[in-house]
Amino acid sequence: MRDYLLMLYLLWFAILPVASCSGGNNDPVINKPASGSKQDAVDRLCRLVGEHDGCDICGIQSWYDDGECDDFCEDPDPDCEDPGPDYNMLAPVTDEQWESYSREERLEIVELSELLEEGEWVGMKTITFHEPDSIGRPVDISLIEYAPYREYADDIDVFMQDNCYMDVMDIDGYHSVVGEPEIYWLWIFVRESDHKVFGGGIGYYQQGCDMPDFDGDVRYFETEQEAKAAGCDYSDVNWQAHGVFDVDARSLRYSSYMDWSGY
């Protein structure tokens, strides 16, 4: 009996240093708790490595950013962040890939395409018909030579005209409208091999003028000369609208009204 107790005593002291040590080559094997485990499971792991309850077990064990999402960590684990779609920039987008992307992913791709330099995405390109910072020279869709591009531009223009407008009566009495909205930028994202359109964007510019002393209803002027003759201050008062579109001119995002850009 004494030998048995002595054996247990020696076994206990042989195990104790291993269970209470948090460093060195004799560290215990600490397995992660199942995803979504309660705090008491993490507390047990903390005690197992000789730390207090509620310790940052992921920091102690180097579990942050280790290639596995650990949602029980004290701080957010970078591995749990949504990486988004895996865009293969070295190959053209296939129809099957595009269909597999969500609406949000397609929006991200189309918006990103405008910023790509030539050659960055093999087999894909963005055709820009007008630069966004060149206000004053509106885009004339009818001048686009390639028919499928012209038809796509027409489709997204019709959508915007039907769904995104500026109601003159919604403008306060200090501002008036001059002329009609004009397209001031347009781009189309296409696959080079067959010229298939995968998306595009369009933006509008609406000129206005400032009439701080006008006491009547909001006015509309056809030309700048007419506005100035009526005493409208032709300063930097304008409104803008824009939209981003998917294949077949389906809307991904658009503004529902003209935004006043200020002075």
Please give the residue that has the higher pLDDT: either 152 or 4. 152
Mean pLDDT of the chain: 77
pLDDT (tens digit per residue) in 89-141: 778 889 999 999 999 989 988 988 877 766 678 899 999 887 555 555 688 99
Task: Confirm if 116 and 126 have CB atoms less than 8 A apart.
Answer: yes
pLDDT of residue 262: 54
- Residue 246 pLDDT class (50, 70, 90 cuts): very high
pLDDT higher than 90, residue 40: no
pLDDT (tens digit per residue) in 209-223: 887 666 666 678 888
pLDDT (tens digit per residue) in 72-86: 888 888 888 876 666
